[in-house]
Structure 1
Amino acid sequence: MVTIGMILAGLLGILHIVIAYLEMFAKPEVQANAFDMDLDFVKQSGAQLALKNQGIYNAALGVLFLLGFVMFTAHAQVVFFELLSLFVVVVGLYGGATVTKKIYLIQALPGAVTLLLLFL
């Protein structure tokens, strides 16, 4: 099960890099659709700044997941991915409660499944 959890950890890293791309570089129409936000709101400069700021955090998280494969080995690697996965679950739960319910499915659930498999 840990091997599957490790694979999912890598996929979580890729997922967060994709989310970062959407937040930082996608057109406002794509952002509004992806994040269930009003297009007029997303086009505002303050909303764009906030999305880009959030994007850099998701990019850093994605890179950390991927760096975990080369920075750590054995048990330390599993613990590192458990901590990052727990972080994803907490942030996903908060985002699902405050932004859009879609985040529960896209972020919190994959993080929880990964965390569970890493503990087994």
Structure 2
Amino acid sequence: MIWIANLLVALVAVLHVYFMVLEMFLWTKPLGLKTFRHSPEKAHDSAVLAANQGLYNGFLAAGLIWGLVHPVAGFGFQIKVFFLLCVIVGGVYGAATVSRRILFVQAAPATLALIVLWLA
């Protein structure tokens, strides 16, 4: 069961790497505009903020990967729990302040990973 939990944690990490790339490098490109439903003008005006947000998503991914590769299983578990909770809190806040979609795209996968991790 732990391999399923780790697979879900890895999926959340990959999602956050994807979010990082979207926000840091593709924000003003066609894929970024379509994904976030922004006009080119709005994207241009908010590009620096998006890049900052993308950097934080990269940190979340790095933390989850750190938890996955840590050689001490108990400490790796704690790292994964901490970063999954950070993702969930960020997803709930984003859903409350920006778009409900964030709840399903960010918080739900992290919640599922956390539940399976606790059960493993």
For residues 57 and 27 of structure 1, do their structure 2 counterparts lie closer, same or farther at Cα, with a shift above 3 Å needed?
closer
What corresponds to 1:14 in structure 2? 14
TM-score with structure 2 length normalisation? Answer: 0.88
TM-score with structure 1 length normalisation? Answer: 0.88
- How far 1:2 moved relative to its partner? 3.1
User: Are the aligned partners of 1:6 and 1:78 in contact in 2 as well (CA < 8 Å)?
Assistant: no
Q: Does 1:84 align with 2:78?
A: no
Percent identity, please. 31
What corresponds to 2:44 in structure 1? 43
Number of matched pairs: 118
What corresponds to 1:65 in structure 2? 64
- How far 1:116 moved relative to its partner? 0.6
2:78 counterpart letter in structure 1: V
Runs of 4 or more above 6 Å deviation: none
- How far 1:14 moved relative to its partner? 1.1
What corresponds to 2:33 in structure 1? 32
Provide the C-alpha distance between the structure 1 equivalents of 2:8 and 2:47, rounded to a whole number of angstroms. 30
SS of the residue corresponding to residue 99 of structure 2 reads: coil
What corresponds to 1:112 in structure 2? 111
> How well do the aligned residues superpose, as a CA RMSD in angstroms?
1.6
- In structure 1, the gaps of 5 or more residues are none
SS of the residue corresponding to residue 100 of structure 1 reads: coil
